[in-house]
């Protein structure tokens, strides 16, 4: 009797990532993933790019969706809302080639084994290449992570990473609560998932210097991220309910 492959939806929000997006899409080891029981659906959300991001992504084999309202949060919600039926797991990673697609299995296995509902790839706890993250950004990430661990009581080691993996019911429940339009989206997701009672853990990952230019503004976006942290301290998921997550079977 054949075993059904578990479907993994990869959501990649992109704004002017022509330089790195093909490497990300082509970087997944589909043969190894299939051997382990997974099949991929790659969704690139082109966030109104002015370069050839959409063309390059399409030629690399991804499904390309356009989100014209600028902002990573806007692009990510559009990606979540376009995941096909029958998806078992949802993964987000950035399109700038800073994250290693071959490390995907490292994030999926704890979900498949029901160790967690959400897995976050930790750059701070992993292997960071020289020049991948400026010292100022690293200090900010460390501070935000410490604050979240203390005040939200969740055992994560990198709250601003761009590499997440979820069981599909978590995304179904979380998406209606997401309001952030920009780079505060990771902080919003982590803090709201903590308030919703999901089990969130981190695994170490690699982090490499990006391809192309970043649109992150450390001071401005750092303020918005900190504002999101404080805003969600009193947040409650009511009246929406957290769906029950069934144990995942390999059969």
Q: How confident is the model at residue 215 (pLDDT cuts 50, 70, 90)?
A: low
Tokens of 101: 């697609």
More confident residue, 241 or 128: 128
Domain boundaries, the chain: 6-234
pLDDT of residue 251: 39
- Range with the poorest average pLDDT among 31-40, 95-104, 198-207, 220-229: 220-229
Q: How confident is the model at residue 247 (pLDDT cuts 50, 70, 90)?
A: low
Contacts of 233 (CB under 8 A, 6+ apart): 151, 152, 191
What is the side-by-side strand order in the sheet with 63-66?
63-66, 38-46, 6-14, 87-92, 164-167, 118-128, 200-207
- Report the mean per-residue pLDDT for the chain: 92
Tokens of 66: 């356009």
**DSSP letter for each residue of 218-233:** HHHHHHHHHHHHHHGG
Tokens of 67: 């989100």
pLDDT of residue 213: 66
pLDDT of residue 214: 65
Tokens of 138: 């690293």
What distance in Å separates the CA atoms of residue 184 and residue 204, rounded to the nearest whole number?
Answer: 22
> Is the pLDDT at 42 greater than 50, yes or no?
yes
pLDDT of residue 220: 84
> Is the pLDDT at 239 greater than 80, yes or no?
no
* Segment 11-31 mean pLDDT: 96
Percent of the residues in the chain that have a pLDDT greater than 70, as a whole number: 91
pLDDT of residue 90: 98
Q: How many CB atoms lie within 10 A of CB 120?
A: 29
Tens-digit pLDDT profile for residues 151-193: 999 999 999 999 999 999 999 999 999 999 998 999 999 999 9
Say what the pTM is: 0.90
pLDDT of residue 150: 96
Tens-digit pLDDT profile for residues 69-124: 999 999 999 999 999 999 999 999 999 999 999 999 999 999 999 999 999 999 99
51: closest CA among 183, 217, 212? 212
Specify the residue for token string 């479907």: 7
Domain 6-234 carries which CATH code? 3.90.550.10
SS3 190: helix
pLDDT of residue 1: 43
E strands in 49-92: 63-66, 87-92
């Amino acid at each position: 009797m054949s075993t059904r492959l578990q479907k993994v939806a990869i959501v990649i929000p992109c704004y002017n990532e022509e330089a790195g997006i093909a490497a990300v899409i082509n970087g997944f080891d589909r043969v190894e993933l299939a051997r382990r029981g997974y099949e991929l659906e790659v969704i690139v959300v082109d966030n109104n790019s002015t370069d050839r991001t959409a063309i390059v992504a399409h030629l690399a084999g991804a499904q390309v969706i356009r989100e014209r309202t600028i902002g990573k949060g806007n692009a990510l919600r559009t990606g979540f809302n376009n995941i096909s039926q029958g998806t078992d797991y949802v993964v987000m990673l950035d399109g700038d080639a800073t994250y290693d697609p071959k490390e995907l299995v490292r994030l999926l296995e704890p979900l498949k084994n029901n160790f967690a509902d959400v897995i976050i790839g930790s750059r701070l706890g992993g292997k960071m290449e020289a020049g991948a993250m400026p010292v100022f950004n690293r200090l900010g990430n460390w501070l935000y992570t410490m604050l979240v661990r203390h005040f939200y009581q969740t055992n994560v080691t990198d709250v601003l990473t761009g590499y997440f993996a979820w069981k599909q019911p978590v995304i179904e429940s979380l998406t209606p609560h997401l309001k952030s339009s920009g780079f505060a989206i990771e902080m919003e997701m982590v803090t709201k998932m903590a308030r919703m009672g999901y089990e969130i853990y981190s695994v170490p990952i690699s982090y490499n210097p990006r391809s192309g230019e970043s649109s992150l503004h450390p001071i401005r976006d750092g303020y918005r991220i900190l504002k999101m942290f404080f805003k969600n301290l009193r947040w409650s998921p009511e009246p929406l309910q957290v769906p029950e997550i069934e144990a995942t079977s390999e059969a």
